[in-house]
Amino acid sequence: QNPKTYAIVKQLLAEGNAGELQKYFGSRMEFGTAGLRAAMGAGISHMNDLTIIQTTQGFCRYLEKNFSDLKKRGVVIGFDARAHLSSGGSSKRFARLAANTFISQGVPVYLFSDIIPTPFVPYTVTHLKLCAGIMVTASHNPKQDNGYKVYWENGAQIISPHDKGISQAIEENQEPWPQAWDDKLIDSSPLLHDPYAMVNKEYFKDIQKQCFYRNINKVTNLKFVHTSVHGVGHKFVQLAFKAFDLSPPFAVPEQKDPDPDFPTVKYPNPEEGKGVLTLSFALAEKDGARIILANDPDADRLAVAEKQESGEWKVFSGNELGALLGWWIFTCWKNNSSDTRAVKDVYMLSSTVSSKILRAIALKEGFHFEETLTGFKWMGNRAKQLMDQGKAVLFAFEEAIGYMCCPAVLDKDGVSAAVITAEMASFLATRNLSLSQQLKAVYDEYGFHITKASYFICHDPKVIQQLFDNLRNFDGKNTYPKSCGRFKVSGIRDLTTGYDSSQPDQKAILPTSKSSQMITFTFANGGVATMRTSGTEPKIKYYSELCAPPGNSDVEQLKKELDELVNALEKHFFQPEKNKLQRKTE
């Protein structure tokens, strides 16, 4: 019933374009733990009115089966500013159709009336004790994409087996229910609620529990630039600064308002580094700002750059900012905790492909560190388990510039991370320290952790499969590599098959997943490298790290060693020429 997608399909039929029709209708989008993520357009392989209705019908039936009080508690739905003119799809339209589906079944819906950052959805699930949450966003993906992200009643993203249960329910509920298309019905329904004003008040009240130096914030001379990269973050970061009594950051004018075309950037992803920050650097130079804070379009991630003494800009990696925030949040906890014995109930988490700097800090300071599988769904769920046991989870992070700094949101949150980073920088400025200098101090105290990560693009799943099969049958069947160039391999953990050479029974402790590829190599020189596939992009990613004990200050030597290890990894394990892989820089 969407005239635009209908016209696209009619046109393809008229042209007899079987190839395109096969692409549109050959296979349904897969619903996984990350929900849905695909281009907007016609057909069951794309995000459109029909696939949103079908997905929500399945999700609604699955929730009815799991919660006897669904009609009392309800669900929350939020959306970003994405829109796709040619197919008529937009995040707002999809959110309204999803709301209509639930309301037609007597389920209360808390539908945000305007665009919000992704973390507001998990916040609302927890705050209002709802059964579930949906956020319509494709985060930092290219402009034609959209997504449908799902949270469970615990305020964390879903993990298995919910994805399979929802997926099956979608298959069983594909025929649109009566009035499924008529989203105007919701406007007069007593089951529709708008949590926008309440959450805008309560969220900013809750993050103030992480504000420790209001007196410094009020008078700091430090200036900040903020960019929301054409996404939703502008208004909310301004409000967060106000909540912490900081002067508002300078907003990059060309990027502060939402624009689904992302006109000033090639990719709307601050993880891509300096290219996305060009306009921020220019504004910072003009206004004399030393620190840049950049959110991705749905404001759940944060990149930070700082102007160095030399005049150059340093963009911190996700691991470096993770080290700084971990140090800062623990230091604030320690300074404000009356009972130092409570340290044994303090936890920090990071994903297995992120730097182990938190482990080093935890060992020295006496708190607990745990690693989880990649992705905030694992850290959010684990954090909730620990909190239910009376533990304090102060911080969790992943190297893909995601940070959970505040227990009110069990997911990455770029809004609270931005303002906490600003307070940390303002505090350090009173000690005449920059963020870079403090990072070095952290490494001096807890040991240098040098990391390097990148990816190759590969659109052919068969090539990816072959590449990982080769690693599992390197010197004959079922043998992994014993070395990588001159670097001797001392341990292997394969979370696709569940093998771990370091365990007595050779079985991995972390959960395994046959549907995604992930192998970690430990080297005799203390290096660690992980190769894995991405759940949302056609990429094979790698992450590497060299850790030195405190006192080893020859950073240049460590960097050189890691560079050589990475070169060997690319040459011998990826074999980009043979496998026709495209490098990140291309």
Burial class (CB in 10 A: 0-12, 13-18, 19+), 43: buried
Which residues are within 8 A (CB) of 179 and not within 5 positions of it... i.e. 6 or more apart? 100, 104, 185
Q: Which residue has the tokens 């060992």?
A: 363
**Is 434 tagged catalytic?**
no
Name the catalytic one among 139, 280, 354, 416: 139
| CB 129 within 8 Å of CB 65 | no
Distance CA 448, CA 555 (A): 7
Q: What angle do CA 545, 546, 551 make, to 5 degrees?
A: 140
Distance CA 238, CA 243 (A): 9
Distance CA 107, CA 98 (A): 11
Which residues are within 8 A (CB) of 205 and not within 5 positions of it... i.e. 6 or more apart? 243
Cis peptide before 161 (omega within 30 of 0): yes
The neighbour count for residue 96, using CB atoms within 10 Å, is: 23
Q: How far is CA 519 from CA 1, 150, 369, 374, in A?
A: 46, 27, 22, 12
Distance CA 490, CA 484 (A): 11
Q: Cα dihedral sign for 253, 258, 259, 265? A: positive
Q: Which helix (DSSP H) or strand (DSSP E) does residue 104 occupy? A: helix 91-104
Active site residues: 139
